Structure 1
Amino acid sequence: MTVLADDPTSAAVLAAMPCYPIPLHGRSPGLDALRVARAGQGVAVGHDGVMLILRRPWLALDVRVAPPIAAYLPYGSVGEPKADLRCGFIPRVYLMSVLDHFRAALPNEAAAFIVWNEKTGEFAVNFPVIEDATPSRLVYRIPTLPPDWHMVCDIHSHGRGSAYFSATDDADDAHATKIALVFGRLDHPDRPAMASRLCDSGMVLPLPRSPFSGGADAA
């Protein structure tokens, strides 16, 4: 077997984020193992581009991160992108609970997390400790979760303002894997505004639809 790095630290980093060329015929046992893993990440290289493969207990994500390489590669296809919620869609009652909490906090901003237990399959809402809240500023503590619990959604409000991701949000989301949601126009009970994205490995990806059951396309 080829040794990819003689430096122990570099070898550990490469093992944590391996790269798999896609065989033109047959299968790649290493990539197959990653695709069904509870957690892990790697890069697949094919004749049609480069795909980031990420697995978390609650998420299975395959996303193209580079177009086809110009040089000829005797490789197979990386396949189609996907983003599947392994935890399933979040029951809409949790969204209603979060929005009620946000409206009660008006005119100030507020925050909530939706978490999921991989052992029991149950969801829960975590309302964090708020250190400072105004109509335009929010400082809160990210919760430390017990074993088997995973953060699925990081949600905060902009009160009566519009829904968008700020530069502060971009910095906070840069190193996390989560669904990020922002709600605004909360003084319009029937028509709050929502901005959404999937955060992973420094990327922000559009959500094709709401992560909540009964939802339509994501905003």
Structure 2
Amino acid sequence: MLADDPTAAAVLAAVPCHPVPPLGKSSALEALRSARSGHGLAVGADGVMLILRRPWLALDVPITPPIAAYLPYGSIGAPRADLRCGLIPREHLDAILDHFRAALPNEAAAFVLWNEATGAFTVNLPDIDEASPSRLVYRTPALPADWHMVCDIHSHGRGSSFFSTTDNADDAHATKISLVFGRLDQPDGPIMASRLCAGGMFLPLPRSPFAGESHAN
């Protein structure tokens, strides 16, 4: 028993920590890596890895450098960031950018949702409480069963693309891809800022989540 307090025991069970065996496999780690949803930590001789699973995402990311003390454990393994849902069809990006340009000079927003049962993607245009060239207040949709938010996207209109302190606060406890598009009025635009929000961290995207787009910034 890891804790005698029931609340503490529930927390430790929800976010477990498993040592990596030096030989063979760990059934607990295998179960965590194959789970539909959940997260926990793997502790190895070469550091600590966050293992996070959502129906649409499989993420293994080191969160510490190699541990200086000797540990008779195995390796945490290679990092991984895979879209279980697959790449988002390019036409959804085109529709979102058209919507953002139509909203100029104001900022605008869109969500990309994925249906776990059907494998279908859709674009959700949220309710906007306030929109101007420098400020946007919008509402996250309440999702029915089988639907998951993959991307939370907003524009900075004619301005640059970056994540504000408000964005940081909004994204701190979410698991999603966040994108910001700017310079929507420029012939060489738009420009995109991107990150994966997971485990309270903001991680760089290895590539764009949209089909036909090879790079993410």
- Give 2:67's aligned amino acid: I
Are residue 196 (structure 1) and residue 194 (structure 2) matched?
yes
Q: How far off its partner does 1:216 sit? A: 1.5
Q: What does residue range 136-175 of structure 1 map to in structure 2 within 5 Å? A: 136-175=134-173
Are residue 213 (structure 1) and residue 211 (structure 2) matched?
yes
Q: Which runs of 4+ in 1 moved over 3 A?
A: none
Give, in whole Å, the separation in 1 of the partners of 2:73 and 2:187. Answer: 53
Q: How far off its partner does 1:189 sit? A: 4.8
* Unaligned segments of structure 2, at least 5 residues: none
Deviations 1:170-211 (A, max 9, x none): 000000000000000000255201000000121000001100
The answer for the alignment partner of 2:120 in structure 1 is 122
The answer for the alignment partner of 2:180 in structure 1 is 182
CA separation of 1:211 and 1:148: change in aligned 2, threshold 3 A: same
Question: What TM-score do the two structures reach when normalised by structure 1?
Answer: 0.98
Contact 2:109 2:153 (8 Å CA) reproduced: yes
Give, in whole Å, the separation in 1 of the partners of 2:53 and 2:116. Answer: 13
The answer for the alignment partner of 2:4 in structure 1 is 6
Give, in whole Å, the separation in 2 of the partners of 1:140 and 1:67. Answer: 38
Give, in whole Å, the separation in 2 of the partners of 1:84 and 1:162. Answer: 28
Q: How far off its partner does 1:71 sit? A: 1.1
The answer for the alignment partner of 1:50 in structure 2 is 48
CA separation of 1:43 and 1:55: change in aligned 2, threshold 3 A: same
Give, in whole Å, the separation in 2 of the partners of 1:70 and 1:141. Answer: 45
Deviations 1:124-183 (A, max 9, x none): 000000011000000111100110000000000000000000000000000000000000
- Give 1:49's aligned amino acid: G
Deviations 1:91-113 (A, max 9, x none): 00000010000000000000000
Contact 2:106 2:132 (8 Å CA) reproduced: yes
Question: What TM-score do the two structures reach when normalised by structure 2?
Answer: 0.99
* Unaligned segments of structure 1, at least 5 residues: none
Percent of aligned positions with the same letter in both sequences?
74
Number of positions where the alignment pairs a residue of Structure 1 with one of Structure 2: 217
Q: 1:32 aligns with which of 30, 33, 36?
A: 30
Deviations 1:17-42 (A, max 9, x none): 00010000110001001111100101
Give, in whole Å, the separation in 2 of the partners of 1:55 and 1:147. Answer: 18
Secondary structure of the corresponding residue to residue 83 of structure 1: strand
